[in-house]
Structure 1
Amino acid sequence: MDQHLGQRLRQQFDQLTPNEQKVAGFILDHFDDIAVYSGADLARLSGVSKATVSRLFRRLGFASFSEVRQHARELRYHGVPLVTDSKALGSGLERFQRHFERERNNLHQMLAAIDAETFDALIEALDRAPEVLVIGYRNGYPPALHLRQQLMQVRPGVRLAPLPGQSLGEELTGVSPGTLAIVMGFRRRAHGFSNLIEQLKGNGLETLLIGDPTLAAAGVSPTWQLECPLDSVSAFDSYTSVMSLINLLSNALLHKRLGEGRARIDAISDAYSGLDELA
Structure 2
Amino acid sequence: MIIQKERVSHMFRERIRQAYSRLSPNKKKVADFLMEFHHDAAFMTASQLARHLNVDVATVVRFAQDIGYAGYPALAREVQSLVKGELKAAHEFAAGKAKAESLFVKIMLEERENIEQSLMNIPADTVQQVVAILKAAKNIYIIAQGEALDLARFFATRLRLQGLQVETLSGDSVVLALALSGLTADDVVVGLGHSKFAVETAGAIRFARERGAKTVGLVSTHASPVAHVAESVILCPSKSMTPVLSFGSMASVMDAILQMIVLEQPDKAAEQQANFEQAYIELVKEQRENFVALEKDIARAG
**Class of the TM-score when normalised by the shorter of the 2 chains:** 0.5 to 0.7
- Confirm or deny that 1:153 pairs with 2:161: yes
Once superposed, what is the RMSD of the aligned Cα atoms? 2.5
Structure-2 residue corresponding to 1:139: 147
Amino acid at match of 1:155: G
Asked if structure 2 preserves the Cα contact closer than 8 Å seen for 1:197 and 1:220, the reply is: no
Asked if structure 1 preserves the Cα contact closer than 8 Å seen for 2:238 and 2:245, the reply is: yes
Q: Quote the offset at 1:214 in angstroms.
A: 4.8
Q: Quote the offset at 1:251 in angstroms.
A: 0.7
SS in structure 1 of the partner of residue 228 of structure 2: coil
Asked if structure 2 preserves the Cα contact closer than 8 Å seen for 1:132 and 1:157, the reply is: yes
- Confirm or deny that 1:250 pairs with 2:258: yes
For residues 175 and 165 of structure 1, the distance between their equivalents in structure 2, rounded to whole angstroms, comes to: 15
Structure-2 residue corresponding to 1:62: none
Amino acid at match of 1:121: Q
- Confirm or deny that 1:266 pairs with 2:288: no
Q: Quote the offset at 1:265 in angstroms.
A: 1.3
For residues 198 and 251 of structure 1, the distance between their equivalents in structure 2, rounded to whole angstroms, comes to: 28
SS in structure 1 of the partner of residue 273 of structure 2: helix
Where is the helix percentage greater, Structure 1 or Structure 2?
2
Once the two structures are superposed, what CA deviation does each residue of 1:184-230 show, in whole Å capped at 9, x if it has no partner? 11114244343222101001110110111153566723121011111
Structure-1 residue corresponding to 2:135: 127
- Confirm or deny that 1:91 pairs with 2:99: yes
Q: Quote the offset at 1:164 in angstroms.
A: 9.0
Q: Deviating runs (4+, > 4 A) in structure 1?
A: 163-166, 216-219
Identify which of structures 1 and 2 has the higher relative contact order when contacts are C-alpha pairs closer than 8 Å and 6+ apart.
1
What runs of 5+ residues in structure 1 fail to find an aligned partner?
Answer: 1-84
Change (3 A) 1:161 1:193: closer
Amino acid at match of 2:284: D
Amino acid at match of 2:123: D
Structure-2 residue corresponding to 1:209: 217
Amino acid at match of 1:209: G
For residues 184 and 223 of structure 1, the distance between their equivalents in structure 2, rounded to whole angstroms, comes to: 13
SS in structure 2 of the partner of residue 94 of structure 1: helix
Amino acid at match of 1:268: F
Q: TM-score, normalised by structure 1?
A: 0.63
Q: Quote the offset at 1:113 in angstroms.
A: 1.3
**Aligned length, in residue pairs:** 194
Matching residue within 240, 248, 252 for 2:248? 240
Change (3 A) 1:193 1:158: closer
Structure-2 residue corresponding to 1:29: none
Structure-2 residue corresponding to 1:225: 233
Amino acid at match of 1:208: V
Matching residue within 87, 95, 107 for 2:115? 107
Change (3 A) 1:218 1:152: closer
Asked if structure 2 preserves the Cα contact closer than 8 Å seen for 1:88 and 1:233, the reply is: no
Q: TM-score, normalised by structure 2?
A: 0.59
Asked if structure 2 preserves the Cα contact closer than 8 Å seen for 1:139 and 1:186, the reply is: no
For residues 167 and 97 of structure 1, the distance between their equivalents in structure 2, rounded to whole angstroms, comes to: 41
Change (3 A) 1:224 1:265: same
For residues 163 and 189 of structure 1, the distance between their equivalents in structure 2, rounded to whole angstroms, comes to: 11
Q: Which moved more, 1:167-176 or 1:186-195?
A: 186-195
Change (3 A) 1:219 1:97: closer
Once the two structures are superposed, what CA deviation does each residue of 1:126-162 show, in whole Å capped at 9, x if it has no partner? 1111121111111220111011011011123111113
Identity of aligned residues (%): 16
Matching residue within 165, 170, 191 for 1:183? 191
